[in-house]
Structure 1
Amino acid sequence: MSLLPKLRTKPLRKILERHSHLNELRMYQWTGSMYTYLSKTPLQAKAKLYITKLQHATTKTGLNGIIEEGFKGFSSQDSKGSHFFYCTGVPDSDDVDLKIRQWLSQYPEIEQTEENIKSFQNSPAFSDNSRYGNYKFTFELDDIIKAYRDQICGGKDPVFRIYGTFCYKKEIVYMVVVHSPDSIAFDHFPYLPTDVGDRICGKDDGGIYWCPEAMSDKCLYEQVEGTAIIPYPFNEYFVWDHMVFAFNMSSNMKFKLEYLYEHLTACDLEEINLAGERETKQEAEQYIKRLKASKLDKT
């Protein structure tokens, strides 16, 4: 997964209070790689994916801080003084496969091989690797919402709003801000929609969902004039999108060590490493083992 512990460099474009579809983004003036990518029309899977887990990746330095102090918020040039704890929304992998197979049934010319199924979900959003460090926490969405409700919201249900669309060189972030109902700092941001419509992110009886428009950033097929499907001679590069939750933090959010270690795994880094620290997955696995052994020695 591409995971977002904090917003990094300034985006090429930010569209606050709105989750913008690809066709809307194509209407803006772009330069460089984003112009090249958005000028293409690759065949992309269409699926409504329910978010079941949240992931947060970090470095060894970040991990030690979490163990000592809990999860804390970060400020950025876009946060206007607010502090956010960032997590990437993750759907169930079996559900992703099922939805792609169902969608592919309308294209009999594309054989439903395992290779083809995976080619429609090959973006960093569906990778086990990370751009932000070798240490990855994977939590149940309900667990994080409950902890946020109890520790940050004083027992009240948190509020979910559309924060905006953030565009980088190849990456599109659909940001959802989560905050205490006692806060008025985000009242001008629209609520996460609950109505039926052509939504990228929303909420219904099934839970919080994400309808990605760019699940593959290396594409095998082109869609011409809306219907014709033509194989690309080579993999074509494209943008990719994912859903990120920005939890507004008035204080640190803490968990028991046993819970943290239960939901902590090591991962490889993506080719693009924004972490500032680099380890191998094996080195991270060994460090996690030492942490857990140290915890056992103290009990």
Structure 2
Amino acid sequence: MMTQKARDCKRTTFEGHHLSLSELKELGIDNKYLSNKNIPAYPESVVFSVQKVSHVTGESGLRAIFNNSGFRQPPELAANAQGPFIWWSLAVTSDDIYSAEEHFLTSLFPRRSSSQIRNQPSILEHFTSSKAFQEKSAYGNFRFTFSLKELLWHYGKQFCSGQSPVFRVYETVLYKQEIQYTVVVHPHYINLYDDYPRLPRQSDGVCGYYDGAMWWRCQAPSEVYMNKLEVNSCRRRVDVSSHYKEEYYVWDHVCIAFHMEPGWVLRVDRNKLFKRVNACEVSYPCLLRPPETPLSLNVAERKLAQIKTEMG
């Protein structure tokens, strides 16, 4: 366990481990959100199968990606010992949420009738409100979205001699109100990560990779809980009701860090980059690197169209 300052805030890092929410609680870490005992019942350990990932940046990063026809680690991050990585997040879609809900309900009630299935109201939409599920991002106004399978193909072809890259459990990072599970992806001949365990394919762990998708067992889908889950075993039905007060809790998410050697650029055809990027709003707290500042969605959309025209 290592405690240090990052993002101007305290963080605790557990290298080579993906510690579950219950395991983190057992460690007795001084964190008021993690130790909140008043959280109402909610869908715990919901498994999402996510096929897409996203990389978010500001205007200078956007221009650099277009100019390079690909992704590279910014030199200023390399100089600040941020690790030799390009960072991607899971891009959870509405279809992913729907599939996860069906799997969750089936695990609760394996023998529901067709009428019970038909009359079951949606539940996850009331709880999947953390930043892991939002269109907004703290890292900038411009989001590139790729299928993970396609991204791995580009990475494997360019840096892994055509072989499949290696997935490893890199770390768990606990912030004030956030749990970040990091997966590192690297070529087989890079031995920097030999002491880190391989990422599981199928198990009871936090996350893993199987058949082109990351599965993620989400343990805390909200930052603020205003609803509670009510399970009626007799009727084989789950309902959602209002909680008497707002409760604040930690939220969890998965990041994928692609190892990049100095000078490497993960190249993608510029026309494809144009198709895979969209503008988004910036969420609080904003983690854009100065001197950049967040743009409104309308301004970001106009700026993106202008840059595409300039570079097209």
TM normalised by structure 2 equals 0.80
Q: Distance in 1 between matches of 2:31 and 2:208?
A: 31
Partner residue in 1 for 2:170:
163
Partner residue in 1 for 2:19:
20
Partner residue in 2 for 1:203:
209
CA deviations 1:176-213 (Å, max 9, x no partner) are 00001011110000000124x31111134574311111
CA deviations 1:68-117 (Å, max 9, x no partner) are 233112448775xx410000022442131232255357599xx9545x43
**Counterpart among 251, 259, 267 of residue 248 in structure 1:** 259
**Counterpart among 130, 140, 144 of residue 133 in structure 1:** 140
Change (3 A) 1:278 1:206: closer
Report the Cα offset of residue 66 of structure 1.
1.5
Q: Indicate if the aligned counterparts of 1:101 and 1:117 stay in contact, CA closer than 8 A.
A: no
What is the DSSP-based 3-state SS (H/G/I as helix, E as strand, rest coil) of the residue aligned with 2:266? coil
- Equivalenced residue count is 282
RMSD: 2.9
Q: Say yes or no: does 1:295 pair with 2:303.
A: no
One-letter amino acid of the structure 2 residue matched with residue 286 of structure 1: R
Report the Cα offset of residue 274 of structure 1.
1.1
Q: Say yes or no: does 1:271 pair with 2:284.
A: yes
Change (3 A) 1:206 1:39: farther
Alignment of 1:109-128 (within 5 A): 113=121, 116-128=123-135
Partner residue in 1 for 2:298:
282
Structure 2: tracts of 5 or more residues without a match: 1-5, 110-115, 234-239
Among all aligned residue pairs of Structure 1 and Structure 2, give the percentage whose two residues are the same amino acid: 28
Q: Distance in 2 between matches of 1:12 and 1:41?
A: 26
Partner residue in 2 for 1:72:
72
One-letter amino acid of the structure 1 residue matched with residue 221 of structure 2: M
Report the Cα offset of residue 128 of structure 1.
0.4
What is the DSSP-based 3-state SS (H/G/I as helix, E as strand, rest coil) of the residue aligned with 2:33? helix
Partner residue in 1 for 2:113:
none
**Counterpart among 168, 176, 180 of residue 173 in structure 1:** 180
**Counterpart among 150, 159, 177 of residue 143 in structure 1:** 150
One-letter amino acid of the structure 2 residue matched with residue 145 of structure 1: L
Partner residue in 1 for 2:201:
194
Structure 1: tracts of 5 or more residues without a match: 1-6
Name the one with the larger strand percent.
Answer: 2
Partner residue in 2 for 1:87:
88
What is the DSSP-based 3-state SS (H/G/I as helix, E as strand, rest coil) of the residue aligned with 1:210? strand
Change (3 A) 1:145 1:174: same
